[in-house]
Structure 1
Amino acid sequence: MGTVPFTYLGFPVYYGKKCNSHYENILRKIVQKLLGWQNKLLTYGGRHILITHVSQSIPLYLLSAINPTKGVINLLHHNFAKFFWSGNRGERRKHWVAWEDICFPKKEGGVGFRTLHGVTKALFSKLWWRFRVSTDSLWSTYMWNKYCKKQHPVIAGARGASHVWKKIMEMREEVEQGIGWQIKSGNSSFWYDNWTRKGALYLTNDMEDGDEDIEVQMCINNGEWDKEKLCELVSEEVVVQIIKNIKLNVRQDEVDQPWWIPNTSGIFSVQVCF
């Protein structure tokens, strides 16, 4: 029988607390790549291109599905900065600006490098988006049954969960603010999905422990909003806003469609972070 930790499809598989030693392969690969360039005559612009388009692209596959320790990411940043500020023969030179500062966009006084902490957040934000919208995928179904079988994903906990799920939970609130739901059959959660485009209703309404989650279709009657039912659930001000601003186009054969509000295409993208 095999022992842990081991590598499977390029990812470290381990049990228990994650350690820097689990990521030695990716660290070694990047360091060797940087060492191979040190004896070449490179300008700061050349080093910038090599770091941005080669070195920082190597760990993307790993970061897309695993949350390494902060120590691993900081060590990668240290090696990137060491290479950037080094001389043409690899001699050590003073780091005139902290790595965190040169990772700002150029218009904000930085050099435009990507901070891998930010990249990790962006990639795990996309995992939450995929989890919420890809209900027919094997991964989404597995995660739903493992962590959200008894609770809506918006309020599901992370106690005793995997490192990946805990990291996804960290990004949940921020991503949920950008997800809107277009009403079709009305299967969205009345309380927890942002179908009003003003935020989830449970955030602005006092809900008691005994209150059950219901679907939006419970407040629709013959293709129109059921004002009486809405008034039983939310304030009159919210009812007016719903009836006035949310036009119904009920289609019983279609599920409600997610929409990424910040993007005109309605599809989540991490490109802006890169």
Structure 2
Amino acid sequence: MAKMLANRMKTLMGDLISESQSAFIPGRLITDNILVAAEVGHYLNRKQCGVVGWSAQKLDMSKAYDRMEWTFLERMLIEASVIKQCLVRYDKLSGQVVNYNKSNICFSRNTHEEDRTQVASCLEVEQATNFEKYLGLPSFVGRNKRDVFSYVEEKISQRIGSWSKKLLSQAGKEVLLKSVAQSMPTFSMSVFLLPETICQSIERTMNKFWWENGRERGIHWKAWDRLCFPKKFGGLGFKELRAFNLAMLGKQACRFLTNPGSLAARIYKARYYPTTSFVDATIGNCPSFCWRSIMAAHAIVTAGVRRRIGNGQTTLIWGHPWLPDNPSPLVQTDIPEELREARIAGLIDPRTNTWDPLILSDLFILEDVNRIIMIPVSPDYDDSWYWMGDPKGTYTVKTTLIGVLLEILRITQRVEVDPICPMCALDHEDVLHALVFCEYSTLIWNITQLPITNIATDSFSTWLMGALAVLTEEKSRLLVAVLYHIWRGRNSAVWKGAMMRPADVARGATASMQAYGSAHHRQALPDPTPMTGTKTHGNLRCYVDAGFQQGTGEATYGIVLISQEESFIAAKNGKSPFCFSPLMAEALAYKEALSWLLERNITSVCLLTDCMVLRSAVQQQNTPIYSYVGVMVDQCRTLMSLFSHISLNYVPR
């Protein structure tokens, strides 16, 4: 019962609970309060001049998970006696009790000492030089940043030192480092940019623990930065702490763009970029350490965000990234000086709510025109920012971290590769030569007696398609097995300086093919059915699917309508508009299916899709979708409201 009530009230909590409550509400982060407190502490510390002094009071409530109501704190700045009366009255009305032993008050530097003593005595709280720690993090950071954040390094060193190396395998060490040690600084890194010396010291501690075995010191066979690469790129997937810190701060920076109405975003905008957007913000004069930390990720965020075009009222034609990334998200046409502040709304025909072809052809080069007409126009929606690296437009630390590490790998990789074939040492190596035309490979193909060596081409893909066209299914399996074993032989020649006999390679390929066949013996597959636990409405089922080509953005859709007796009723297929992601193609296909069903006067149906992400996006209305997919999903929900009975279920392929 409690779970049911909580789920029903979840959609109302954001409107009922004050925006000053940053935790326990979807879409809000408790770190917003830390950012606000740090900015207040920074202001009090640098306030040295003026007649009027300022103070900030830190209150500790005796009951957990409760908050101070702002209605009781509005008069706190009038005089200290009124504050005391407000707190006493608040205690009586709310049933909460302020813990004065843990509460304190701090003042700006220009506040006189006698005023400080009088106010603190009236409130019965202690004076503090600053907030000390708020929610476990320092509220003010001075010049000696290593001393301020030394507690992070000490906690991790103590935790790693308590683990017994003698009783742990390498797999056990990996689990402990990833799940415990590397997660400990996450909270601090989400708000502050830790000094690079602390990150390096923590990494040295983890590296030492990884290579040591019992009392032996151990040899560090590989540098730590190489172990931090993802496993598919030859690393072990450990976190590079500096890159992880920037990725965490990027989440805060991206929220300033996607959620500008939050309390923290409005405070920082009023302080640091009152007349511009976060994209054009600078560090400014006398910034707080929180703002410096967020600005460290400014370049990462601005490079990864894009504008989602709605009505075009707030997006600059030449100043914002809003086009497909080939070659750049910015308009390539030279900017006319009189149109420097022009908005995209001027490019849209208000009668048809589509792009105006005459204006486009007059202002832009053909390349830009072709890219502009790919962008969908949604006049009923405002323009907004979204993260390009995620189909839903939501910033994710994981994808950002991988992107930073890959950039590091691209910059640091300086390996000279010998172009000579390592197997025959007679010709330059490419894929076709190594797998087909090398003397060593030719001997293996002759032993297998597969009729493929006479295919004349200079492209391996063409050769492979021609070979598969003339071979039976069984021989095609042998072909794949031989290619795999030739490649293993080539790697053995490169890294070990040794090669197997051609006859042994052929026998190994045959054995692998037979083992694969026995392990993957075909069995009759059951007919696909909707995911268990779902209820279908009506007698009709409608299957929806989409196709997407990543390189060009082209998308297609297919719809099949089937009766309860499994008999075919109707079908439709076609080409969708330009799409940015497979999820967008699936959403457009689902929207097309709904419109098609309504045209046929069908209002009771069960729709089935193989896209679990789309099904979750349609049903979870509390999770915001910032990309163009959000517009499509919202339009799908509007169409679904026109049905008497409708359900969207997942069906596996």
Task: Please state which band the TM-score falls in when normalised by the shorter chain.
Answer: 0.7 to 0.9
Q: The residue matched to 2:278 in structure 1 has which SS?
A: coil
The one-letter code of the counterpart of 1:11 is: L
CA spacing shift, 1:219–1:145, aligned 2, 3 Å: farther
Shift of 1:63: 0.4
Contact preservation (8 Å) 2:387, 2:394: yes
TM-score (norm 1): 0.83
Shift of 1:267: 1.8
Q: How far apart, CA to CA, are the structure 1 residues paired with 2:336 and 2:132?
A: 46
Q: The residue matched to 1:181 in structure 2 has which SS?
A: strand
Shift of 1:25: 1.9
Deviates more, 1:132-141 or 1:187-196: 187-196
Match of 1:109 among 234, 253, 258: 234
Contact preservation (8 Å) 1:183, 1:256: yes
Shift of 1:217: 2.4
Shift of 1:173: 3.3
1:130-160 Cα offsets, whole Å, 9 max, x none, are: 1110022111111222222122322222133
Q: How far apart, CA to CA, are the structure 1 residues paired with 2:333 and 2:151?
A: 48
The one-letter code of the counterpart of 1:213 is: E
Deviates more, 1:27-36 or 1:255-264: 255-264
Shift of 1:21: 1.0
Tell me which residue corresponds to 1:246.
Answer: 375
Q: How far apart, CA to CA, are the structure 2 residues paired with 1:200 and 1:25?
A: 43
Shift of 1:96: 2.6
Contact preservation (8 Å) 1:85, 1:93: yes
Tell me which residue corresponds to 1:192.
Answer: 319
Contact preservation (8 Å) 1:188, 1:195: no
The alignment status of 1:119 with 2:248, answered yes or no, reads: no
Tell me which residue corresponds to 2:391.
Answer: 264
Q: The residue matched to 1:110 in structure 2 has which SS?
A: coil
TM-score (norm 2): 0.38
Tell me which residue corresponds to 2:185.
Answer: 59
1:244-270 Cα offsets, whole Å, 9 max, x none, are: 22232211xx32243322222322212
Q: How far apart, CA to CA, are the structure 2 residues paired with 1:140 and 1:248?
A: 28
Q: The residue matched to 2:162 in structure 1 has which SS?
A: helix
Q: The residue matched to 2:295 in structure 1 has which SS?
A: helix
Q: The residue matched to 2:246 in structure 1 has which SS?
A: helix
Q: How far apart, CA to CA, are the structure 2 residues paired with 1:163 and 1:231?
A: 48
CA spacing shift, 1:24–1:169, aligned 2, 3 Å: closer
Q: The residue matched to 2:307 in structure 1 has which SS?
A: strand
Deviates more, 1:181-190 or 1:118-127: 181-190
Q: How far apart, CA to CA, are the structure 2 residues paired with 1:239 and 1:98?
A: 46
Shift of 1:28: 1.8
CA spacing shift, 1:243–1:203, aligned 2, 3 Å: closer
1:61-92 Cα offsets, whole Å, 9 max, x none, are: 11011111001111111111121122225x53
Q: How far apart, CA to CA, are the structure 2 residues paired with 1:120 and 1:140?
A: 20
Tell me which residue corresponds to 1:26.
Answer: 152
Tell me which residue corresponds to 1:100.
Answer: 225
Shift of 1:129: 1.5
Tell me which residue corresponds to 2:280.
Answer: 155
Greater length-normalized contact order (CA 8 Å, ≥ 6 residues apart):
1
Q: Note the aligned Cα RMSD (angstroms).
A: 2.9
CA spacing shift, 1:231–1:159, aligned 2, 3 Å: farther
Match of 2:195 among 69, 81, 99: 69
The alignment status of 1:78 with 2:204, answered yes or no, reads: yes
CA spacing shift, 1:204–1:55, aligned 2, 3 Å: farther
Contact preservation (8 Å) 1:259, 1:266: yes
Please say which structure displays the higher CA radius of gyration: 2
Contact preservation (8 Å) 1:38, 1:83: no
Tell me which residue corresponds to 2:254.
Answer: 129
The one-letter code of the counterpart of 1:260 is: W
1:142-189 Cα offsets, whole Å, 9 max, x none, are: 122222212232222213333333343343333333323222232332
Q: How far apart, CA to CA, are the structure 2 residues paired with 1:60 and 1:116?
A: 10
Gaps of 5+ in 1: none
Shift of 1:112: 2.0
CA spacing shift, 1:221–1:144, aligned 2, 3 Å: farther
Gaps of 5+ in 2: 1-126, 403-653
Tell me which residue corresponds to 2:345.
Answer: 217
Q: The residue matched to 2:319 in structure 1 has which SS?
A: coil
Q: The residue matched to 1:197 in structure 2 has which SS?
A: coil
Q: How far apart, CA to CA, are the structure 2 residues paired with 1:124 and 1:116?
A: 12
Tell me which residue corresponds to 1:235.
Answer: 364
1:189-216 Cα offsets, whole Å, 9 max, x none, are: 21333222345547874586x9763443
Q: The residue matched to 1:54 in structure 2 has which SS?
A: helix
Q: How far apart, CA to CA, are the structure 2 residues paired with 1:217 and 1:242?
A: 16
Q: How far apart, CA to CA, are the structure 2 residues paired with 1:162 and 1:49?
A: 37
Deviates more, 1:40-49 or 1:163-172: 163-172
Contact preservation (8 Å) 2:307, 2:315: no
Q: How far apart, CA to CA, are the structure 2 residues paired with 1:67 and 1:231?
A: 47
Contact preservation (8 Å) 1:5, 1:22: no
Q: How far apart, CA to CA, are the structure 1 residues paired with 2:175 and 2:136?
A: 25
CA spacing shift, 1:211–1:240, aligned 2, 3 Å: closer
Kindly tell me the number of residue pairs found equivalent between the two proteins: 269
